[in-house]
Amino acid sequence: MARIRRLAREAPAAAAAELAALLRDRFDIEAEEIRPTLDAYALNSLSGTFRARGRDWFFKFHQEEGEESGPGEYYRARLLADAGLPVDLPAFASTEPGEQLLVYPRRTWPRFADLLRRLDLDSDTAAMAHALALEAGLCERLLAVYRRTLHPIGPEQAAAEPVHRLFHARLTDPMPDGSRRYPGGRLASFYLGREVELPGARLAFEDLARRRWRIDGREHRDSLADLFDRAAERLAPERLADAGGVSAHGDAHAANLWIDPERGLVLFDPAFAGAHLPTLLAEIKPTFHNTLAHPFWLYEPFEAAARFRVEIRLAPGAIEFVTDWRPSPIRRALLRVKALRLWRPLLGLLAERGLLPPDWRETVRLALFLCPTLVMSLRAGPERPPVASAIGFAVAVAAGSPAEDGADLVSRFLDAIDPALDGAAAAHIWPEEVP
Q: Which residues of 224-235 are buried (b: 16+ CB within 10 A; e: fewer)?
A: bebbbbbbbebb
Q: What is the pLDDT of residue 47?
A: 85
Q: What is the pLDDT of residues 65-124, one digit of tens each?
A: 665 434 445 457 889 999 999 999 989 988 676 677 889 999 999 999 999 999 999 989
Least confident of 122-131, 277-286, 356-365: 122-131
Q: List the one residue out of 13, 15, 17 whose CA is nearest residue 1.
A: 15
Q: At 62, which amino acid appears?
A: H
Q: At 391, which amino acid appears?
A: I
Report yes or no: 257 and 264 within 8 Å, Cβ to Cβ: no
Spatial distance between the Cα atoms of 205 and 207, rounded to a whole number of angstroms: 5
Q: List the one residue out of 207, 187, 186, 203 whose CA is nearest residue 195.
A: 203
Q: What is the pLDDT of residues 181-211, one digit of tens each?
A: 999 999 999 999 999 999 999 999 999 999 9
Number of C-beta neighbours around residue 118 at 10 A: 15
Q: What is the location of CATH 3.30.200 in the chain? A: 2-105
Least confident of 26-40, 210-224, 308-322: 26-40
Chain length of the chain: 435
Spatial distance between the Cα atoms of 108 and 97, rounded to a whole number of angstroms: 30
CA quadruple 410, 411, 413, 418: dihedral sign: positive
Q: What is the pLDDT of residue 434?
A: 45
Give CA 196 to chain center in angstroms: 23
Q: What is the pLDDT of residues 245-298, one digit of tens each?
A: 999 999 999 999 999 999 999 998 888 999 999 999 999 999 999 999 999 999
Q: What is the pLDDT of residue 72?
A: 45
Spatial distance between the Cα atoms of 386 and 201, rounded to a whole number of angstroms: 9
Report yes or no: 79 and 143 within 8 Å, Cβ to Cβ: no
Question: Which of left, alpha, beta for 50 (phi over 0: left; psi -120 to 50: alpha)?
Answer: beta
- Half-sphere exposure in the Cβ direction for 357 (13 Å, CA): 18
Q: What is the pLDDT of residue 70?
A: 42
Spatial distance between the Cα atoms of 188 and 350, rounded to a whole number of angstroms: 35
Give CA torsion, residues 377, 117, 251, 108, to 10 deg: -130
Q: What is the pLDDT of residue 50?
A: 93
Q: How far is CA 295 from CA 16, 78, 163, in A?
A: 32, 33, 26
Q: How far is CA 56 from CA 51, 105, 286, in A?
A: 5, 7, 29
Q: What is the pLDDT of residue 42?
A: 67
Report whether CATH 1.10.3470 matches the domain 2-105: no
Spatial distance between the Cα atoms of 242 and 434, rounded to a whole number of angstroms: 36
Phi, psi at 79, each rounded to 5°: -60, -45
Q: How far is CA 314 from CA 144, 320, 341, in A?
A: 48, 6, 40
